[in-house]
Amino acid sequence: MINSKIALIFPGQGSQVVGMGKDLAEKYPVARQTFQEADDALGYKLSQLCFEGPEEQLRLTEITQPAILTTSIAALRVLETRVPKPCYVAGHSLGEYSAHVASGTFSFADAVRTVRNRGKYMQEAVPVGVGTMAAILGMEFEKIAGVCRDAAQGEVCSPANINSPEQVVISGHTAAVERAAKLADERGAKRAKLLPVSAPFHCLLMKPAQDRLEEDLKKLTMHKSVYPVACNVDAELVDDDLRTLDTLLRQVTGSVRWDQCMRLLIGQGVETFIEVGPGKVLCGLMRQIDRSKSCLNVGDEASLEKTVESLSKPA
């Protein structure tokens, strides 16, 4: 694998788990320092919530988002010194901010504060119970788009995360999403299940959050990205600051086109993907997108050693 093109990919919300980042912080000063930086930037002990919980607090969107970002960047900083440089980076939803930190687009401290606010704005955009999300498994995207159109009946219902050929998550008003899940079942989906989420992300109901986030994004000090970032909303490579700001803004109400982003990178010759941060959700999706590609992960000491060893083998 030594000579293969590498892309770093960063997870989004849903990958959080109590204890994440703890063993890296205990063993590596650079990881410990990353959590300290986040604590200082936010003014509270995010590190303690990551390492010890409680879980219900870690699940609050405005805590989850900076927590996953911080764990991802701590893992990245440990990994960076031990593997070849990537050719590309990408992140799923919130993970796109981690990707931009990895690429030097903006500072880690700025990113942590921005995603804390992003989480807060997203949570406050829609009263609890008004919106929800559902995963539809084993159904073609065009059919899912049709199901959303037919189920909307004047409400919001649209594809939110196009994760793989096997999995699309839809989002919108609760009644519309429930109708869509029922329709998908009737029209031959393998499975349609409502998700235990706190808000209907990546749909038009998030417009109030998008409007509030715009002010925060405009205040960021932006730099030209070191590595091209595959952006969620357009599934295109981005490396200039104006385009970055625009894509991160539109991402709040737009679909995460993860399947297309991964195919874009595969089309650029990427053979090895490394999921950097808690969990292995993105490696699972890669198996559904293209099983011939290698997907490694780094979230703790054991997975770090395994990944470094895999990368040192001749391709």
Angle at 29 between CA 25 and CA 33, to 5 degrees: 75
Confidence at residue 70, expressed as pLDDT on a 0 to 100 scale: 98
Whether residues 217 and 87 share a domain: the answer is yes
R_g of the chain, CA atoms, integer Å:
19
CATH for 178: 3.30.70.250
Are 94 and 68 spatial neighbours (Cβ–Cβ below 8 Å)?
Answer: yes
| N-terminal to C-terminal alpha carbon distance within the chain | 4
Tokens of 130: 């008004």
Tokens of 90: 């990408």
202 is catalytic: yes
Whether residues 214 and 288 share a domain: the answer is yes
Confidence at residue 202, expressed as pLDDT on a 0 to 100 scale: 97
310 is catalytic: no
Whether residues 116 and 136 share a domain: the answer is no
Confidence at residue 313, expressed as pLDDT on a 0 to 100 scale: 81
Helix segments in 43-173, DSSP class H: 46-52, 55-58, 61-80, 95-102, 108-125, 141-152
Confidence at residue 246, expressed as pLDDT on a 0 to 100 scale: 96
Whether residues 97 and 246 share a domain: the answer is yes
Read off the pLDDT of residues 275-284 as tens digits, 9 standing for 90 and up. Answer: 999 999 999 9
SS (H, E, C) 284-297: HHHHHHCCCCEEEE
Sheet of 236-238: strands edge to edge? 236-238, 229-231, 88-91, 5-10, 270-276, 294-298
Write out the E strands in the chain.
5-10, 88-91, 131-137, 157-164, 167-173, 191-194, 229-231, 236-238, 270-276, 294-298
CATH for 36: 3.40.366.10
Annotated catalytic residue: which of 15, 47, 72, 93? 93
Q: Which of 309, 251, 303, 312 lies closest to 277, judged by CA?
A: 303
Whether residues 273 and 217 share a domain: the answer is yes
Whether residues 180 and 234 share a domain: the answer is no
Annotated catalytic residue: which of 202, 225, 255, 303? 202
Sheet of 157-164: strands edge to edge? 157-164, 167-173, 131-137, 191-194
Whether residues 17 and 97 share a domain: the answer is yes
- Give the end of a domain, one of 197, 224, 250: 197
- CA–CA distance, 311 with 86 (Å, rounded to integer): 12
Whether residues 93 and 215 share a domain: the answer is yes
Confidence at residue 128, expressed as pLDDT on a 0 to 100 scale: 87
Please give the backbone phi and psi of residue 187, each rounded to the nearest 5 degrees, phi first. -95, 10
Are 241 and 105 spatial neighbours (Cβ–Cβ below 8 Å)?
Answer: yes
Whether residues 191 and 258 share a domain: the answer is no
Tokens of 279: 């969990």
Work out how many domains the chain is built from and give that number: 2
Spans in the chain with pLDDT lower than 50:
none
Whether residues 148 and 279 share a domain: the answer is no
Domain assignment of residue 176, given as a range? 131-197
Whether residues 112 and 251 share a domain: the answer is yes
Whether residues 98 and 227 share a domain: the answer is yes
